[in-house]
Amino acid sequence: MTIDGFLAGQVEFDSSWEYVKKALGISGCKSHFNIPNKFLIGLVLALTVVSGCRPNHRYATKGNIKITALYFDGQPIYRNLQIGVGGRPFYANLEQYGEVSLELGTGNFVKLRDLTVDLLKAKSSIIEDVSKPGHGRWSSGERIKMGSRLIFCVDNNQILELYVNAVGLEGDEGQKFRTADDKEIAAMPFTHEELQSLFGEPDVINDVWHQ
C-alpha cells in the first residue's frame, strides 16, 4: 500500500493491518475494524525511526587498515578487509601487522612481512593494469588477483594494498589468516573477537544504519 493510498481517506483495516504487520514483522493477527489512516501512518513512521536507530553496518579503521562489517543478530560480522588505505601503503606499517600470516594455497601460510611481488606473481595467473578505470585507487602499477577473494595492488616491486573480500565464488572457503603467535586461525568473515586477535582493537569504529 502506498502513502497516496493512506491519504485518500479511511481504508479497510484488513489491508492496512497487513501493511503494519509487515512493518512490525508479525503474523497471525487479524481484525475486522476500520482504523484512521493518520494513526497507521504515524505508527509506521515511528517504527521506521526506531528501527533506523539500530546500526546495520560498521566501518572500522586501525592505522592503514580499513574493515567493514554487516550486523547479524546484533553482532558485527567483518566481510571486507583493506590494508593500505589513507595514503599509507601496505608496506608502510608492517611493524603493526607483519607477523600475521595469510594463507596462500591450502595450508601454506606466509607472514605478511614476507610477502613479495615475485611470490604473488608466481602464485597468480591474473595480473591487470591498475591504471585502467575501476581497477583500484592507485594510479599506477598492477593488480594481482588470487582466487575470487584476494587482490593485491603492486608497483615498483612493492605491495601497495591488500584487499580481501569475504564474498567469493560458490564453494570457495573464506580467506584464512593466522595470528602473530601462530596459535589461532580465522577465516573471513571475522567476528569482532577474531579481528581483535589478528589486528588488535580498531582505533575508530563507526556504526551506522543504511536502508
- In whole angstroms, give the CA distance from residue 92 to residue 71: 31
Please list, in sequence order, all residues whose beta carbon lies within 8 angstroms of the beta carbon of residue 70, skipping any fewer than 6 positions away: 56, 57, 58, 76, 77, 79
One domain for residues 45 and 83: no
Tell whether the model's pLDDT for residue 8 goes beyond 60.
Answer: no
Hey, is 98 helix, strand or coil? Answer: coil
Tell whether the model's pLDDT for residue 199 goes beyond 90.
Answer: yes
One domain for residues 83 and 161: yes
What distance lies between CA 144 and its chain's CA centroid? 21
Of 64, 41, 81, 43, which is closest to residue 164 (Cα–Cα)? 81
One domain for residues 72 and 14: no
Q: Quick one: pLDDT at residue 16?
A: 42
- Which residue has 581497477 as its cell numbers? 135
One domain for residues 77 and 144: yes
Of 164, 206, 205, 196, which is closest to residue 97 (Cα–Cα)? 196
Residue 13 structural domain:
3-52
- In whole angstroms, give the CA distance from residue 156 to residue 142: 9
- pLDDT tens digits, one per residue of 160-193: 999 998 875 455 678 999 999 999 999 999 999 9
Of 109, 101, 99, 98, which is closest to residue 64 (Cα–Cα)? 98
Contact between 68 and 55 (Cβ < 8 Å):
no
One domain for residues 134 and 33: no
Q: How many CB atoms lie within 10 A of CB 58?
A: 20
One domain for residues 120 and 182: yes
One domain for residues 148 and 68: yes
Write out the three cell numbers for 19: 501493511
**Tally of domains in the chain:** 2
One domain for residues 82 and 45: no
One domain for residues 40 and 123: no
One domain for residues 62 and 134: yes
One domain for residues 30 and 80: no
- pLDDT tens digits, one per residue of 66-119: 999 999 999 999 999 999 998 899 999 999 999 999 999 888 999 999 999 999
Q: How many CB atoms lie within 10 A of CB 110?
A: 17
pTM: 0.71
One domain for residues 84 and 101: yes
